Structure 1
Amino acid sequence: MEQQATDVIIATRTALSQASALAVQYSFSVLGAVILLFVGWIISRLLHNWAYSGLSRVRGIDETLARFFSNIVRYAVLLLVFITVLGQFGVQTASIIATLGAAGLAIGLALQGTLQNIAAGIMLLVLRPFRVGESIETPAVTGTVTEIGLFATELRTADGLYRLAPNSTLWNVPVTNYSRERLRRHDLTVIIGNHEDIDAAQAALLDLAKGNPAIEQTPAPSTFIADLSKDGTSLTLRYWVGTAKWWATTRDMLRAAKRVFYLPEQPAEDPAPS
């Protein structure tokens, strides 16, 4: 009995000694891990702010893109710190990195379409074929851009409808931007009879252009014969107008041309007999 009690006491002392040694050892590891996490969190915030500030000053970099890349920098630092902390406790970091790589590959294959939209969104934000507020036309969608995101672009159609277009459908196709250039050309064509004076008709067209203050005089408006047929002669007035006023001006010019060329003059009324 005494021998058994002695063995129990010795075993207890050994266990307590080992426990205290482990406590001391891991207490330093835990303390170092906490300090490392705290320092890593501060560094990630500093690098995030530095990257965002630097990218925001780069011409052509959208704010959405600056936030995206700065967040990537922050989370990459945090991931590196987390792996380093695990290494403090004896975890094999090589296997963790391999597992993360395999998981990333699997997620990338599963979200292939989404990643294509992200890549297209980055290219749209960098190259800027269109901006918010501009009117565009593609084979898939037509409308005014209201927001450009990393996954999709929001548009408002001419009849006031909301439309969401994945970025991949806007990147690999031709894009017509109706708002990008300051001036836009318009060709106004009228048909006159073969017996009518061509010079007078061309002069009348030029007078219409000069009488509209919205039409640019540099480059100057010009007229030319567009077509000849047995039914009449087609004359074209070519002029340039500010993009923002293009639609209204073309309609005003059509109305003015209608009055000059296609509305017959009303005969003067005979004076009332005295």
Structure 2
Amino acid sequence: MDEVATQVGAFAPLVMNAVKALVVLVLGWTVAGMIAGVVRRRINATPQIDPTLGNFVASLVKWAILAMVLVAVLGIFGIEATSIVAILGAASLAIGLALQGTLSDLAAGVMLVVFRPYKLGQYVDIGGTAGTVKDLNLFTTEMVTPDNVQIIVPNGQAWGSVITNYSAHDTRRVDLVFGIDYGDSADAAMQIILDEAKTDKRIHSDPEPWVRVTNLGDSSVDLTARLWCDAGDYWDVKFELTKAVKEAFDAKGVSIPYPHSVEIHKQA
């Protein structure tokens, strides 16, 4: 019995240390999240500072606090901070090789915040993946597609890919192509398109709407319209003007031909 009591007594400090470490870890994680939230709100409340920077700094603060919590947890088990530094120094090469992808994402995250090729709320295409930017933290960029699918892109891949930012400018050009029959008047059809464009208040008058004959196809004469609008109105203008022009063509007898072939017989 004395031997069992001795063994239990030997494990008691270890159990107590484990409980203390768990408490410190939970509290540290909670406090880190709370402080990061306060930092994010304070920075985002300043109109002069972009929200992208607020999210990034909050993420940086959270991970810095968690690093200090980890040191405190190891200290509970008797591992001093100087020993931790020595161990990390000796294992720096191995850690660097093991975490090279993560460190690359961290470095890329800093570059994304400094150069800001995209910001929160902008619609972008990163290496062929398109969506609205919802978050940019130390390691990843979070996007949401138009059909509400979450996409997580490592910052290293984002920084190393071609980035197309559809929201970078306040205005966008809408290009529409309409095909009419060869027997119809191109001038009349172009005037119909211009009239419909002028009735839409979302379409800018400067630059003025532009309509030209751009192609003589196998079955149709193609007319291209180039119109400018606010970036937020792009898709509504594109869809609604297409419908309006089609209905105006129908009302004024302009044909939109189906693809067809003409067979010609030659006598010897």
Instruction: Please report the TM-score for the alignment, with normalisation by the length of structure 1.
Output: 0.62
Please tell me the residue identity of whatever aligns with 1:63.
Answer: G
**Greater relative contact order (Cα < 8 A, sep 6+):** 2
More displaced 10-residue stretch of structure 1: 192-201 or 175-184: 192-201
Match of 2:54 in 1: 63
3-state DSSP class of the match of 2:151?
strand
Match of 1:137 in 2: 125
Equivalent-residue separation in structure 2 for 1:70 and 1:160 (angstroms): 28
Equivalent-residue separation in structure 1 for 2:62 and 2:143 (angstroms): 27
Q: CA deviation at 1:101?
A: 2.4
Match of 1:102 in 2: 90
Please tell me the residue identity of whatever aligns with 2:175.
Answer: D
Match of 2:108 in 1: 120
Instruction: Give yes or no for the alignment of 1:188 onto 2:179.
Output: no
Please tell me the residue identity of whatever aligns with 2:184.
Answer: E
Instruction: Give yes or no for the alignment of 1:212 onto 2:200.
Output: yes
Match of 1:15 in 2: none
- Residues 170-185 of structure 1 mapped to structure 2, 5 A cutoff: 170-185=158-173
3-state DSSP class of the match of 1:121?
helix
* Preserved contact between residue 56 and residue 136 of structure 2 (Cα < 8 Å): no
Equivalent-residue separation in structure 2 for 1:160 and 1:64 (angstroms): 21
How many residue pairs get aligned? The number is 197
Match of 1:28 in 2: none
Could you list the runs of 5+ residues in structure 1 that have no partner in the other structure?
A: 1-48, 80-92, 266-274
Match of 1:151 in 2: 139
Could you list the runs of 5+ residues in structure 2 that have no partner in the other structure?
A: 1-38, 72-81, 254-268
Instruction: Give yes or no for the alignment of 1:226 onto 2:217.
Output: no
| Alignment RMSD (CA, Å) | 3.2
Higher Rg: 1
Q: CA deviation at 1:232?
A: 2.6
Please tell me the residue identity of whatever aligns with 1:158.
Answer: P
- Residues 229-244 of structure 1 mapped to structure 2, 5 A cutoff: 229-244=217-232
Q: Deviations over 1:69-125 (max 9, x none)?
A: 8987xx89xx9xxxxxxxxxxxxx8x9866542233322221111111111111111
* Preserved contact between residue 140 and residue 169 of structure 1 (Cα < 8 Å): no
Going from structure 1 to structure 2, the CA distance change for 1:139 and 1:107 (only over 3 Å counts) comes to same
Please tell me the residue identity of whatever aligns with 2:157.
Answer: T
Going from structure 1 to structure 2, the CA distance change for 1:229 and 1:162 (only over 3 Å counts) comes to closer
* Preserved contact between residue 194 and residue 230 of structure 1 (Cα < 8 Å): no
3-state DSSP class of the match of 2:91?
helix
Q: Deviations over 1:36-90 (max 9, x none)?
A: xxxxxxxxxxxxx9xx99xx99977813444538987xx89xx9xxxxxxxxxxx
